[in-house]
Structures are given as C-alpha cells and as structure tokens.
Homo-oligomer: A and B are copies of this chain.
Amino acid sequence: MRIVVQEQPFDLGAEVSAFAAGRHDLGAVVTFTGVVRDDPAKPLAQMMIEHYPGMTEKALEKIATEAQARWPLGDVLVIHRFGVLHPGEQIMMVATAARHRKDAFEAAEYLMDYLKSRAPFWKMEKGAAGEGWVAARSADEDALKRW
C-alpha cells in the first residue's frame, strides 16, 4: 500500500507503469484519475484544495486498509494533491491490482466512493464569476450505501 498526499503534480504515466510492474501474480490493474474540469459556460481560473494535514493520511490509509480487507488485492496506491490547481491538471489517482478484474474494479470504486466523502479535502473554485466552495453532492453520500 502506498498513500501520498502532496502539493506538487505527480506523473500519472510513471506511477501507472511502476504500479503495474514486477508483480507476475496479478492479472488486473485498474486506475482512476481525477482531473480538474473546466465548464465552458462557467470558466474556471483555478481550484484550491484545502486539507487536514495528519488526518488526511490517516483517513486515506483507513480507506485503503478496508479495501484490502474486503477484496484480495495485490497492491493499492492512492495519490491526492492539495494547493492550487488549474483546469486539466490531475488532482488525484487510485490504483488497484488483483488477480481478477472484478476485484480490481470494485476496490477502485470503493476507494473513490469513500475518498470523496470521508477524506478531509475541500475544494474551492475561483473563476470570472467569483469564488466559492464546492458543495458536497448528495449522490456522493448515497454512493456509500452500495458497500
């Protein structure tokens, strides 16, 4: 398991290659990458991500540990950035590796569902129309009921 919380960008290609490499017992690797989205109707200048140092790492480790307990995973990676990001930049990624694709897919979705609503990150968007905190979506809270 590898949990990274950092301000600087990460190299998605290098992370995926390194994650997938060297383990011959794992047939399935799933990744999810979150990207700062720009809505042409409401142009975004930047996104600022605030987090809770200390708790963030603990929360992500707890979520990843729970995923490893629920599915037979060979490995788990979570990277999440904080600070100032711009449209098109990668915010975060998770990766899961398992023998079978179903386990790798389910574990990645579980990680994302919990990370969304249980890891202490808050997004503020700044654009031409001003700035504001991104509201939590009830769909994200509802997604947890699946597990």
Q: Could you list which residues of chain A lie within 8 angstroms of chain B, going by C-beta atoms?
A: 11-17, 20-40, 87-88, 90, 99, 101-102, 104-105, 108-109, 112, 143
Interchain nearest-CB distance for A55 vs B (Å): 23
A-B contacts, 16 listed (Cβ < 8 Å): A12-B16, A12-B20, A20-B33, A20-B35, A21-B88, A23-B88, A24-B36, A27-B36, A27-B37, A28-B32, A28-B33, A28-B34, A29-B35, A32-B101, A32-B104, A105-B109
- Give the docked Cα–Cα distance between A26 and B16 (Å): 19
Q: How far is the CA of A17 from the CA of B17 in the complex (A)?
A: 11
Interface of chain A: mostly helix, strand, loop or mixed? mixed
Q: Which residues of B contact A21 (CB under 8 A)?
A: 88
Copy number in the complex reads 2
Contact A24 B12 (CB under 8 A): no
Taking CB as reference atom, which chain B residue is nearest A15? B13
Pairwise interchain contact B32-A30, C-beta atoms closer than 8 A: yes
Residues of B close to A109: CB separation below 8 A: 101, 105
The residues of B that contact A99 with a CB separation of less than 8 Å are 37
Q: Compute how far the CA of A112 lies from the CA of B106 in the bound complex, rounded to whole angstroms.
A: 13
Question: In the complex, A36→B27 CA distance in Å?
Answer: 6
CA distance A102 to B140 in the complex (A): 10
Residue of B nearest to A35 (CB): B27
Once A28-B34, A29-B32, A29-B35 are accepted as A-B contacts, the answer to whether A12 and B17 lie under 8 Å apart by CB is yes
Interchain CB contact under 8 A, B87 and A24 = yes
